[in-house]
Amino acid sequence: MVDISRRAVLASAAAVLLAGAAPEPEGATIAWPSDVPGWDPNLRAVPRAQSLYKLIYDPALDLDPGLRLTPALVSAWDLAPDALSLTVDLRDDVTFHNGDKLSSADFRWTFLGRARAGQKSDLAASWPLLRHIETPSATRAIMHFDGPLPSAPVRLASLASFVVPQAAMQAPGAEPLATHPIGTGPYKLAGYEDEGRIVLERNEAYWGPRPKLRRLSIDIIHEPAARAAAVEAGRVDLAVDVPAAAMAHLAAMPGLVAESSPDTRMILLQTRSDQGFADPAIRLAAHHAIDKKALSQAVFGGAALPLSVLAIHGTPAAVDDYVFAYDPALSRLLLAKSGYGQGQPVRIRLATTNGEFAGDFDIARAIAQMWQAVGIAAELEVIEYTKYADLNRANYLPEATLYALDNPTGDPELGAGALLNPASPISAWKDMVFGQKIAAMASVTDPAARLDGWRALEREATEIGAAIPLLQAAQGVVRKKKLGYTNYLNGWVLGQTLAWS
């Protein structure tokens, strides 16, 4: 007989319990649909890259999950009553990853100095009215504009508005940010394989709340079905932009959560006011013929929300009490009054990308079929997204072009304003009279009057067929049940918000 002491039993039991209890993970792996175009965060205003840039860099101002403007590197701001200047105060406790302290010189360099030094930056297009930046102290900067710019504060939270280090970038022999990023953000880049994997380590000296996870790995997986397969197999902990067709299957799996949420991507048809669409009745007939709920169901499993104006639901400029009806009978009536019908259809061209965003080609093909049923014959053609601006500039876009605009701020000037202003490189609508209305709205300084004005313009644009709003897109996210994250209205999935329960 073997004598086993009580102490030995207890020790053995404790060892079993400890062996069976998995330690809390210190990291996570995310499946992401596309790589950054380079690690310089000012160079390209790419919406999908913002969540990745925000791991390493901080914006001047930020947005909360509901898209309200919040402090970040800028702790306080004051827009002058005439909107001709904006004063900002910077935090005094922020250092870059190389140890340099953040100052107003870095702010001035980011938003004005880089462009004047001949460096390429999409920020130059975001700040066409920016004339000068004063730096009366190390923590204060005053932006001066050539005309009223009431959207200035929200522009500090918009695409590419990350503050970068002037001294480090101008030092002799300095490495370019595109390959050697130096930010103030919650993580530092620890490893990078182009179009492969991004590895990040927590910034232990971060000025804000430290992320829960010490390490993050981001696997770039372009194919939607492959991202779904990766999270199903457990190779990743969270996958972004999972196709609607896979969501129900993954939601039924134990240990996984599948969530589809509308984001700030507007899917629309950019329209021209000439050629086959010169008659406004034909443009309106084309709009009334589109069953947006059917498009949402087919491509997004019903999660995408139909739009009647160029504003996202839940944002300040949304016109929630206005619905542009799906009415194919009215479409036929409008076409008949203009001398057209199924026997004598209107002939137009419809351009679309194929694979630029979820379901783009399928949406365009479905619209062409809906149009055919009322008397609009659309010749479908595929274009590359990178060629869109060139085609628009050369006046080669067809009557209708399927397009998606992601405006993470939800501000109408950066959404409808960009889509309808004839001076904008993305606007296909070249009505200069309407353009004057857009230009006038850009200088309205009273907040309430500004939003009322934009709502009126958005509705007018729909009623004259200046654009055909289709859907507020939805993003599918699948994650392990024990991995939580913060859901942002604009679709950001931020690694710094991940935490295991």
Q: What is the pLDDT of residues 189-202, one digit of tens each?
A: 999 999 999 999 99
Residue 9 has pLDDT above 50, yes or no: no
Q: Is 283 helix (H, G, I), strand (E, B) or coil?
A: helix
Residue with tokens 């925000």, as numbered in its chain: 54
pLDDT at 499: 97
Question: pLDDT for 41-54, tens place per residue?
Answer: 999 888 889 999 99
pLDDT tier at 310 (50, 70, 90 boundaries)? Answer: very high
Spatial contact of 285 and 244, defined as CB atoms under 8 Å apart: no
449, 455, 461, 462 alpha-carbon torsion, rounded to 10°: -160
- How far is CA 403 from its chain centroid? 14
Average pLDDT, the chain: 92
Spatial contact of 345 and 339, defined as CB atoms under 8 Å apart: no
Residue 131 has pLDDT above 50, yes or no: yes
Write out the two tokens for 10.
């207890």
Query: Would you report the helix, strand and coil content of the chain in percent, each value rounded to 5?
Result: 30, 25, 45
CA 325-328-333 angle, 5° bins: 105
In angstroms, the CA 271 to CA 377 distance is 16
Residue 357 has pLDDT above 90, yes or no: no
The pair phi, psi for residue 201, each rounded to 5°, is -115, 140
What is the dihedral sign for C-alpha 296, 494, 77, 60?
negative
Helical (H) or strand (E) element with 89: strand 85-90
Spatial contact of 90 and 107, defined as CB atoms under 8 Å apart: yes
User: How far is the CA of 458 from the CAs of 81, 290, 309, 318, in angstroms?
Assistant: 25, 19, 6, 9
pLDDT at 24: 53
In angstroms, the CA 347 to CA 276 distance is 7
pLDDT at 1: 30
Q: Which amino acid is at 386?
A: T
pLDDT tier at 314 (50, 70, 90 boundaries)? Answer: confident
Closest Cα partner for 286 from 473, 462, 471? 462
Question: pLDDT for 426-463, tens place per residue?
Answer: 899 998 899 899 989 988 999 999 999 999 999 999 99
- Rg of the chain over all Cα atoms, to the nearest angstrom: 26
Q: Is 159 helix (H, G, I), strand (E, B) or coil?
A: coil
pLDDT at 4: 33
Residue 34 has pLDDT above 80, yes or no: yes
Lowest mean per-residue pLDDT among 180-184, 209-213, 265-269, 383-387? 383-387
pLDDT tier at 425 (50, 70, 90 boundaries)? Answer: confident
Closest Cα partner for 36 from 223, 220, 231, 183? 220
What is the dihedral sign for C-alpha 405, 410, 412, 414?
negative
Burial class (CB in 10 A: 0-12, 13-18, 19+), 252: exposed
Closest Cα partner for 454 from 153, 157, 150? 150
